[in-house]
């Protein structure tokens, strides 16, 4: 099977590139487009470090064959901040000490963004469910859940 031209809208910018058969969305983002916030963790969809928003939905980009999403919209952590200013989720993570080593942080933030986009006032249980596919080995989940709830409150005030 031959390589295929793939067109994506990545962080509100049109991108066109050649992808070999079976290339993952994660590999395309990192290796072809130079967007390295989504991390290569387990490569099996079990850790969440590669979470991005695909047409507004949180997905494990390591499991998505890029040719199957030709024409889609992708949002990565690089597309969250606006005009150099952190958004509410990023600020809440930073100020709430919800990071430690930082490896899981991009995936956690993207899962939080997807949740708050569809549910601006989630309960603690809904936050826990939304990040359940993301593994953190450092901070524990308390500060992360608190940061997401704080971000929801910040957005409600804005």
19 phi and psi angles, rounded to 5 deg: -130, 135
pLDDT computed for residue 43 by the predictor: 94
3-class SS letters over 121-133: CCCHHHHHHHCCC
Displacement of CA 41 from its chain's centroid (Å): 13
**pLDDT tens, per residue, the chain with 158 residues:** 799 999 999 999 999 999 999 999 999 999 999 999 999 999 999 999 999 999 999 999 999 999 999 999 999 999 999 999 999 999 999 999 999 999 999 999 999 999 999 999 999 999 999 999 999 998 789 999 999 999 999 999 98
Dihedral of alpha carbons 56, 58, 150, 105, sign: negative
Q: pTM for the complete prediction?
A: 0.96
- Residue 49 CA to residue 104 CA, distance in Å, equals 5
β-bridge mates for residue 58, sequence order: 53
Asked whether the beta carbons of 7 and 14 are under 8 A apart, the reply is yes
Domains and CATH numbers, the chain: 4-79 (3.10.20.30), 88-157 (1.10.150.120)
pLDDT computed for residue 76 by the predictor: 98
């Amino acid at each position: 099977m031959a390589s295929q031209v793939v067109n994506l809208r990545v962080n509100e910018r049109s991108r066109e590139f050649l992808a070999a058969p079976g290339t993952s969305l994660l590999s395309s983002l990192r290796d072809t487009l130079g967007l390295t916030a989504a991390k290569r963790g387990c490569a099996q969809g079990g850790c969440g470090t590669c979470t991005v928003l695909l047409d507004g939905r949180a997905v494990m980009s390591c499991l998505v064959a890029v040719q199957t999403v030709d024409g889609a919209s992708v949002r990565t952590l690089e597309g969250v901040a606006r005009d150099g200013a952190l958004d509410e989720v990023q600020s809440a993570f930073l100020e709430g000490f919800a990071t430690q080593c930082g490896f899981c942080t991009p995936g956690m933030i993207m899962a939080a963004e997807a949740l708050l986009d569809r549910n601006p006032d989630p309960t603690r249980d809904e936050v826990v469910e939304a990040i359940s596919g993301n593994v953190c080995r450092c901070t524990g989940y308390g500060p992360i859940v608190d940061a997401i709830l704080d971000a929801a409150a910040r957005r409600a005030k804005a």
